[in-house]
Amino acid sequence: MTDLLIGISALVAGGIWGSFLGVLAVRVPQGLSIATPGSRCDHCFSPLTISELIPLISWIRSGGRCRSCAQRILPEIPISEFSTSFFFIFVAFLPASLEERAALVLFFSFALPLTLIDIRHHRLPHILTFSGIATGLFFSFFTMGGKGLLISGEGALIGFIPVAIVALLYSRGMGMGDAFWLAAIGAFTGPMNLSLVLLAASSTGILAAFAAHYINPPGKRGPLFGKALPFGPFLSLGGFLALTFPGLVHVINSHIMEIPL
Ligand SMILES: [Zn+2]
């Protein structure tokens, strides 16, 4: 297959899969079924026609608004479709084994809806984090057998315990959702990569907190007034880095060892 054909296939497949992930991001926090009713406007509930269901294209053609009520379509849907298409193209050309690429796609399928839900609702629904843990464990068993399952289980446990302790002691800063999400990430990456995941998540989280501080100084009624920074998206970013660059953790670990104490 030529590169162009691979790119177009990844773009189309990403648009379709991203459309489903967008539905997850919108419906799961509301406790709605993801199967029924069919796709509809989230404002006026009018069902979408076939021509309104084409990923990416429908959103561009409608100018991002519902045809019946002219309200803005929730950004979760186009964000999911565009980012999943982009991600599939990235994975298609990534110099990695088939297993590594499959793990990335599976991980992304949990990371994207959880990230979008955490940004809007400040929570990480158990149905998605628990499914993420189960998928990580099953995938490791499927690709590496009993040894893989053991490594994956260790990753889940070591990811869960420290964040769960922080969540119990300081519930305003972190929730149990973060602990279960890091457990799922650990089930995909194994325990060795968790130092990289946490380092990437906390450093980008601190940078974002500084940025938020300047955009919206404390006490001022700016665009971020009264908003807390969710940690889930930064954990997702850490998991993505660990799975995309499996060698990176060794560089980080060897530098941490070299720091004279
Ligand atoms: Zn509508």
- 25-77 residue pLDDT tens: 999 999 888 887 788 888 888 888 888 888 888 888 888 888 888 888 888 99
CA distance 20 to 27: 10
pLDDT at 175: 87
Ligand 1 centroid–CA 15 distance in Å is 22
Query: Ranked by mean pLDDT, which of 42-46, 53-57, 176-180, 205-209 comes out on top?
Result: 176-180
Ligand 1 centre to CA of 179 (Å) is 37
Task: Calculate how far, in angstroms, residue 41's C-alpha sits from the geometric centre of ligand 1.
Answer: 5
Q: How far apart are CA 256 and CA 139, in angstroms?
A: 30
What's the CA gap between 152 and 185, in Å, rounded? 9
End-to-end CA distance of the chain: 53
Separation of CA 48 and ligand 1 centre (Å): 9
Burial class (CB in 10 A: 0-12, 13-18, 19+), 12: middle
Going by the DSSP 8-state scheme, the letter that residue 132 receives in this structure is: H
Under the banding of pLDDT at 50, 70 and 90, the label for residue 158 is very high
Q: How far is the CA of 46 from the centre of ligand 1 (A)?
A: 6
Q: Which residues are 47's β-sheet partners? A: 40
Query: Is pLDDT at 219 greater than 90 in this prediction?
Result: no
Cα of 55 to ligand 1 centre, how many Å?
A: 17
The structure's pTM equals 0.90
Give the span between the Cα atoms of 110 and 205, in whole angstroms. 20
More confident residue, 226 or 102: 102
Residue-level pLDDT at 261:
47
CA of residue 64 to ligand 1 center, whole Å? 11
Q: Measured in angstroms, how far is the CA atom of residue 189 from the centroid of ligand 1?
A: 41
Cα 22 to ligand 1 centre (Å): 17
Cα-Cα-Cα-Cα torsion 50, 55, 59, 65, nearest 10 degrees, comes to 60
Q: Quick check: helix, strand or coil at residue 227?
A: coil
Which of 250 and 235 is assigned the larger pLDDT?
235
Q: In this model, does residue 186 exceed pLDDT 90?
A: yes
121-127: Cβ within 8 A, 24+ apart: 121/29, 122/228, 122/230, 123/29, 123/175, 123/177, 124/175, 124/177, 124/178, 124/180, 124/181, 124/232, 125/28, 125/29, 125/177, 126/177, 126/180, 127/28
Average pLDDT, the chain: 89
Q: How far is CA 4 from the centre of its chain?
A: 27
Residue 81 vs residue 223, higher pLDDT: 81
Q: How far is residue 27's CA from residue 233's CA, in Å, rounded to a whole number?
A: 19
Interatomic CA distance for residues 17 and 108, integer angstroms:
11
Q: Is residue 19's pLDDT more than 60? A: yes
Ligand 1 centre distance from Cα of residue 71 (Å): 6
Identify which of 45-49, 134-138, 174-178, 194-198 has the greatest average pLDDT: 134-138
User: Cα(16) to centroid of ligand 1, in Å?
Assistant: 21
Instruction: Output DSSP code: residue 65.
Output: B
